[in-house]
Amino acid sequence: MQQNIYPRSKDRETVYLNQVISNPAIVVGDYTMYNDFTRDPRDFQKNNVLYQYPVNQDKLIIGKFCSIACGAKFLFNSANHTLSSLSTYPFPIFFEEWGLDVEDIRKAWDNKGDIVIGNDVWIGFEAVILAGVTVGDGAVIGARAVVTKDVPPYTIVGGVPAAPIRKRFSQEIIDALQKIRWWDWPKERIARHLPEIQAGQIPEEEMI
């Protein structure tokens, strides 16, 4: 496990995310990095994880070796005004004004669940991922995409709302990658196989 905040000694725009997170409702795997050239990347949980209030007990779970670009946002349940009411106005939030029970505050929004990001996911510049979405291993989220639905593993999505563009690899290779789960290997083993990984080749010894 990496212990330092900054992956590069002279770069203060990029951080290992799990070294700057203090919120227990945000869980980040090793080597996942965030780059921000407009704000301090150490403030990720304040600037990029929005509407995640303790009352909902919702979580942001991000896997290992993810790359998160500047301005990417994770939008949680309290951003969702309820659609089951005749009004979208969040009356339960203003319980004092309307004589409502504080315990009913969560009725102001629709709760869609956690945000779960797999391993080796690339999230592009200013992309937005909404509550309840799961992004599979190896997926790519295009710049400024708004992700409202689950993204399958190794799928590139883009647009508003985000839609599949193409698979990164054949299904055979995708199945093999999900079987070997290289991101769970020890660091020394990953380093030994970096030439194959970077060349887009699955190491033969791992296919046995």
Measured distance CA(39)–CA(20) in Å, rounded: 14
Residue 41 CB burial class (10 angstroms; 0-12, 13-18, ≥19) = buried
Known catalytic membership, residue 193: no
Catalytic, out of 39, 59, 73, 81:
81
CA separation for the pair 160, 61 (Å, rounded): 23
Catalytic residue ranges: 81
